[in-house]
């Protein structure tokens, strides 16, 4: 029997029978993981790259039947989104999650090996007879497109739901702030108005009127470069606005003088 914890065990330290069963549980592309795990066995670090994990993120965990990881990590993302909406009135952008997904890709090979080894050891205890055990390994292990598709569906439903919640929370917060900024702008308190407008900008839910009013403020302040920035931001939201396109041409002419 193995006495070390699964997370401390190296693939090459397993006896031949257990290695075969681990690879049998892995199923699809077991030859690829055999090479990855063999290399990890000769390294002190537990880090190695996994392109599938990097490209497909949490879906890879579901595809590899690691539901505990897929849904736990999704739960963390949900919690982060909810807290972000409550405190910042917007969800965390996808680019902000980039470092986390890179970390997943670097640790996935080791995490997957530990998971497979743990499952095989459980089946070894449950089925002392090897033929029965191998049959159970083939049934329980491998990959599952059904689990991956189900996870995609759940993520899609969540994404739609959180987008709706974010919009509702954001607009209930933004609209009175927008009115406050407009009143400051009308009263000639341009810097104060700018500060409020900037505080309610949301990359996830762009509002053209915010950029329009900021454009007028920068125009009053004689800052044509800033005017152009706001014109461009407005046109990203409403690219067919002919009046704004004319304003852009006028500003560009002034900047070229």
* 212-250: pLDDT as tens digits: 999 999 999 999 999 999 999 999 999 999 999 999 999
pLDDT band at 86 (very low <50, low <70, confident <90, very high): confident
CB 46 within 8 A of CB 103: no
Answer whether residue 4 shows pLDDT above 90.
Answer: no
Tens of pLDDT, residue by residue over 120-173, are: 999 999 999 999 999 999 999 999 999 999 999 999 999 999 999 999 999 999
**Dihedral of the alpha carbons of 49, 53, 56, 59, in degrees to the nearest 10:** 180
Whole-model pTM over 0.85: no
Question: pLDDT class for 87, splitting at 50, 70, 90?
Answer: confident
- Quick one: pLDDT at residue 94? 64
Give pLDDT, residue 95.
Answer: 62
- Which residues make up the CATH 1.25.40.10 domain(s) of the chain? 175-256
To the question of domain 175-256 being in CATH 1.10.620.20, the answer is no
Q: What is the pLDDT of residues 201-221, one digit of tens each?
A: 998 899 999 999 999 999 999
């Amino acid at each position: 029997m193995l006495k070390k914890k699964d997370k401390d065990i190296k693939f090459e330290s397993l006896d031949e029978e257990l290695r075969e069963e681990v690879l049998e549980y892995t199923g699809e592309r077991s030859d690829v993981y055999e090479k990855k795990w063999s290399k990890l066995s000769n390294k002190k670090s537990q880090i190695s790259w996994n392109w599938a994990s990097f490209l497909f993120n949490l879906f890879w965990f579901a595809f590899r039947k690691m539901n505990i990881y897929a849904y736990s990590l999704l739960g963390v993302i949900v919690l982060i989104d909810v807290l972000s909406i409550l405190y910042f009135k917007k969800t965390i952008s996808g680019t902000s999650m980039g470092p986390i997904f890179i970390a997943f890709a670097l640790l996935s090979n080791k995490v997957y090996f530990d998971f497979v080894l743990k499952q095989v050891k459980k089946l070894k205890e449950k089925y002392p007879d090897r033929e029965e055990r191998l049959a159970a390994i083939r049934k329980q292990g491998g990959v599952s497109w059904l689990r991956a598709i189900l996870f995609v569906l759940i993520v899609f439903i969540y994404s739609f739901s959180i987008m709706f919640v974010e919009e509702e929370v954001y607009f209930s917060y933004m609209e009175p702030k927008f009115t406050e900024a407009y009143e400051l702008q009308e009263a000639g308190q341009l810097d104060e108005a700018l500060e409020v407008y900037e505080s309610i900008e949301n990359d996830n839910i762009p509002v053209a009127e915010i950029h329009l009013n900021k454009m007028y403020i920068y125009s009053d302040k004689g800052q044509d470069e800033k005017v152009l920035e706001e014109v461009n931001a407005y046109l990203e939201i409403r690219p067919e606005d002919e009046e704004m396109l004319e304003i852009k041409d006028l500003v560009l002419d002034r900047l070229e003088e």
